Structures are given as structure tokens and as C-alpha cells.
Amino acid sequence: MRDAGEANEEPAPKVALAREKVLEEARRAIAEGEKKDVSIVVIGQYSLACVLALPKLTVSCIGHVDAGKSTLMGRLLYELGEVGEKGRIANERASGKIGKASFSWAWQMDGLTEERERGITMDISQTRLPLPRTTLTVLDAPGHRDFIPNMISGAAQADAALLVIDAGVGEFEAGFEGGGQSREHVLLVRSLGVTQVVVAVNKLDMVEWSKARFDEICGALQPFLVQSGFQPSKTIFIPCGAFSGVNLQERNCKALEAWYNGPTLVDALDNLTPPTRSLDTPLRFPISNVFKGGHLSLGGIGVSGRVCSGIVQAREVVRILPGQLSATIHSIELDSKSVPWAAAGSNVTLYLSGIDPNFLSIGSVICSPNDLVPVASAFIAQIIVFDIKMPITTGASVELFHHSRDNPATISKLLATVDRASGAVIKSNPRVLTKGCSARVEITLRSGTMSAPSTKPLFLPLETFSTNKEMGRVLLRRGGETIAAGETTNIFFFSPGASNAPISRG
Ligand SMILES: Nc1nc2c(ncn2[C@@H]2O[C@H](COP(=O)(O)OP(=O)(O)OP(=O)(O)O)[C@@H](O)[C@H]2O)c(=O)[nH]1
């Protein structure tokens, strides 16, 4: 993910609050559905005006390449007043100068020179959407298949998805048929725990705002969403035109209004339900980006990501796993504002002090020294096999995705095929796994890279799905194709603090 930019210079609390006090404050604020942004926090003798880091909803913007995801986000930011006339004109002029005028709205999101020159999103970019009722954090994902690892990193941090579909003739079909990214993205986000999806049926101007085309797309997509595990009540289809800003905040198009008087895209996004957050569980913060910035006098190391569970607070000493690293959280930044603490569900940047950045890696997990995350070298998972061309056999080499990390791994044992719902064994020790089946498999992690895997073991911070849902989901890819998604059931773990000897199986 891209750099979060400079930290603001608001003073950080001088000491960490007692954990119970923070928990109490978080629970109270969440229970009261606190709307106001600023609260006075008393820390010892200091009384500080701080922005409350209440968890908000994070939405991953997904869909086939060129569906109009970045354009939609750029235009939405303009409609909501987050981008002014000056910004709009600057993007219009600069994109026009290099013959990319049609990408002027997308430039708001696609800030890298290569992205602008190629007219595609390559990395996740994060933005804040202030809606009438709530504020969303949106992660704009790349649609191109080459950048699926970045897309997975964003999807792993999301509560809901905004699926953008190109309604142009043949375009929806290209994204939806075998190998299309609309299809793969839907399967990925659902496998990573997303349960709500808003579908923006975009570029309807290309088909003269045709109701028949809108209905055709909804008719094909809805059964697929349901089959992928989305409840019908958690899906909604919104016709729109991102480029001209139709039906984003206002309907403002006669041809569309002739047959549509339903919600706008802003209405649909504003109605998403925030999931329940696990505040009482131990702190787990998988790092999705490491960068230099802010507080340079203190070493200036920032790490961004999402608080998966628990609460993190400024001045707290934390451990970073795998490895023996400790650090102090100098300050926490949410939406460019300093916050005293952040609860599960928040996407934040933590500025660390007392740490050598060379030992920090994307995918490492920050936790409390009193409650370390297990570090596994192998584990058992119940997987669902996707629509694969080649069956999975014992010893298959795969790429394992866990949050923002991807590593080589081997499917070391095929333990059983199982019933998807009940988990009951259908067949023990199957020879192969074919498309659509559910199975229990043992996966062994390997160090090195996919092109040069090493025989040395690798240790990954992992938990069973039953202990911590967000830490217990994995995806398996092979040859650029997602072949399965799974939930960890047993992990073979090592004591992260003491020795390297295995201390438990199961
Ligand atoms: N006609 C029309 N074109 C649109 C609309 N929305 C986006 N586009 C065009 O579609 C092209 C791709 O837009 P992007 O926003 O870059 O698409 P994307 O989905 O973000 O692309 P990737 O992230 O690279 O997959 C650009 O030329 C846009 O101008 C729309 O509502 N109508």
C-alpha cells in the first residue's frame, strides 16, 4: 500500500493509559454510537483533545480491469466536496497533456507516475469518504490480474465490497466469464470474510442508460453472488455513470430517471452495516506497509494496516512477530489525525520508535508482549477448491496468502474431503482434490520466493479461525490463479518468545 504521508504533529500522550480504561472508553463510545469526532482524554496530569479512533467501515473497491473503479472514487470525492474545483482542473489539465484525459478523475486515486502513464491502478490507494451518516475508508484495488497480490492485501482489510461493473457491450461478460477479475475478486473478498457487497453497474451511458442491460447484468450476477456465499439481503445493485457523476450523490439524469427511482450509490454505501468488533480479544495488527515518514527525529518509522482485533494505544510497548523485535508506539494516526488509541476495525498508521526498520516486514504482526500471536511453520486448514484446471495432489507447490504476505508453501497432506457445511469426513486420504470440493489439508510453509523456494522452514504469525477469524483465513494461488480459500483449524506452532522448539500441535 502507498505511503500514508506525513504524520501530523499533534502531541502524543506521554504515557499509555491502563488497558481497562481504554477498553472502557472504547466500549462506551461504541455503545453510544458517538458521532462527534473530538473527545477530551485525561491521561495522568495531561488533558488532551483527541480524535476518537472509533472503528469505521472499510470498503474494498473491486472489479475487472478498466471497470471504472478509480474514476468512480475520484468523482465521488468531488461530489462529496473532498476534491475542490482546483484539484479537478489540475487533474484534467495534467492528464490531457499526456493524452490521458479520460483518466482525469482516476488521477485523484492513481498517484504513481507509472499508473498515470499506463492508465491502470497498480497498488492499493486508501481514501476517506465522508457520507451523510458515516465515514468510510475505501481501498481502491487494482483490477489487472498481475496485481492480484495487492488486491488481496486490500481485501483482507475490508468489511464490505464495492464491486464496479462495466456495463458496456461485451465488457461485463469479459470480466465475469472464466478468467475475469469481477468473478475472481468476488470469490476472494467473500473468502476473506466480506459479507456485504454494493454493485455499481457503471458506464451505463455507453448503452444509452438501458434498463434491459442493467437487468441483464443483475440477473447474471445475483445468482453468482449468492452461490459465492453472499446473502441476497446483503447485496444491492446501483445503476450509475462514474465519469459524468450520474446517480452517485444525485440521480441527475433524465434517461435513467425514466425507469429508476431507487437509492443513489451514496445512499447504498451509507446503509452498510458495521460488523461487530472484537475489542476484548488480544491485539493483532498485521503490517500492510512499512515506510519512513513523520517524526523523523524519533527514527520516523511508520507502519500501516488494520487493527484486526483488540485495541492499540500510543506509548504502548509492543512485540512484532515473527522475531524478537519490540518497539514503542510513538503515535497513532487515523485519517491524518492523531488519536490516542485505535480499536479493532480501524485502518491506521502507527509511528514506532526504538526499532531498526530493516527488521520490519510486511505481513509481520504487532501484538501485546503479554499476549503473543503463535508463529506457525505448518497448519491444517479446511479449504474450498475453486474452479481449477489441474487437480490438487499431495506435494503441490502453492503460494500462500495471509493478509499482506505471500510465501511459498506445500500442500503436504490431503487429509480428507469433507462436507462443506458440517465438516463431516466424506473420504479420508483422497488422492486428488478437484474443483468445488471441500477438504482438510496440511500446509507446510517454506522460505524463499516462489521462483526460488528454499527448503528452510518459514514461520508465520497465524491463529486458528475459531480463535481469531481475521488471523485464520488463508488463500492459495498457483500459476497466477487462485485455487482455494481456507480457514485454519490446527496450527503447529512455535513459542515466539522463548526457543524455536515446537510447543504444541493442534
Ligand atoms: N463512458 C464512460 N467511461 C468511463 C466511466 N467510468 C470510467 N470510464 C472510463 O473507463 C476507463 C478506465 O477507468 P479507470 O477508473 O481507470 O478504471 P479502473 O477500474 O480503476 O482500472 P484498473 O484499476 O486499472 O483496473 C477510463 O478511460 C475512464 O474514463 C463512465 O461512467 N462512462
The Cα 6–Cα 137 span in angstroms is 18
Ligand 1 mean position, distance from CA 185 (Å): 17
User: Which of 318, 333, 367 is the last residue before a domain boundary?
Assistant: 367
Nearest-atom number in ligand 1 for the CA of 71 is 15
247 and 129: one domain? yes
Ligand 1 mean position, distance from CA 68 (Å): 3
167 and 265: one domain? yes
The Cα 68–Cα 179 span in angstroms is 19
357 and 381: one domain? no
In this structure, is residue 13 part of a structural domain? no
Cell numbers that stand for 400 in this block: 500462500
Nearest-atom number in ligand 1 for the CA of 106 is 15
CATH label of the domain that carries residue 189: 3.40.50.300
Picking from 319, 395, 326, 330, the residue whose alpha carbon sits closest to that of residue 355 is 326
Number of H helices, E strands in the chain: 10, 29
In this structure, is residue 312 part of a structural domain? yes
355 and 325: one domain? yes
In this structure, is residue 332 part of a structural domain? yes
309 and 423: one domain? no
Q: Using an 8 Å Cβ cutoff, are 384 and 191 in contact?
A: yes
Pocket of ligand 1 (CB under 6 A): 63, 65-71, 102-103, 106, 120-121, 142-144, 202-203, 205-206, 241-243
75 and 133: one domain? yes
Q: Residue with the nearest Cα to atom 8 of ligand 1?
A: 68
Other CB atoms within 10 A of residue 270 CB: 17
379 and 363: one domain? no
70 and 168: one domain? yes
Ligand 1 mean position, distance from CA 210 (Å): 19
56-85 exposure pattern, b = at least 16 Cβ within 10 A, e = fewer: bbbbbbbbbbbbbbbbbbbbbbbbbeebee
In this structure, is residue 226 part of a structural domain? yes
- Cα dihedral 114, 118, 122, 127 sign: positive
In this structure, is residue 11 part of a structural domain? no
Q: Decide: residue 455, CB within 10 A, 0-12 exposed, 13-18 middle, 19+ buried.
A: exposed
Nearest-atom number in ligand 1 for the CA of 63 is 19
User: Which of 246, 271, 296 is the last residue before a domain boundary?
Assistant: 271
Give the pLDDT of the chain (506 residues) as one tens digit per residue. Answer: 333 333 333 444 455 556 666 667 666 666 665 444 444 444 433 334 344 445 578 899 999 989 999 999 999 999 998 888 888 888 888 877 878 777 888 877 766 677 667 776 777 788 888 888 888 888 887 867 777 888 888 888 888 999 999 999 999 999 888 678 899 899 889 988 899 999 999 999 999 999 999 999 999 999 999 998 899 999 999 999 999 999 999 988 999 999 999 999 999 999 998 777 777 789 999 999 898 766 545 557 899 999 999 889 888 899 999 988 899 998 888 877 888 888 888 889 999 988 877 778 899 999 999 999 999 889 999 999 988 889 999 999 999 999 988 899 999 999 999 988 788 999 999 999 999 899 999 999 988 777 777 777 788 899 999 999 889 999 999 988 889 999 999 988 664 443 333 333 33
Q: Which long-range contacts (CB under 8 A, 24 or more apart) does 407-410 make?
A: 407/445, 407/446, 407/447, 407/458, 407/460, 408/445, 408/446, 408/447, 408/448, 408/449, 408/450, 408/453, 408/458, 409/443, 409/444, 409/445, 409/446, 409/476, 410/443, 410/444, 410/446
User: Which of 308, 342, 367 is the last residue before a domain boundary?
Assistant: 367
Number of domains into which the chain is organized: 4
Q: Residue with the nearest Cα to atom 29 of ligand 1?
A: 102
Nearest-atom number in ligand 1 for the CA of 164 is 19
Ligand 1 mean position, distance from CA 102 (Å): 8
81 and 190: one domain? yes
357 and 445: one domain? no
Which residues constitute the domain of residue 335?
A: 284-367
| Phi, psi at 495, each rounded to 5° | -65, 115
Other CB atoms within 10 A of residue 143 CB: 27
To test the pocket of ligand 1, the residue of 71, 73, 104, 144 to mutate (highest count of ligand atoms within 8 Å of its CB) is 71
CATH label of the domain that carries residue 398: 2.40.30.10
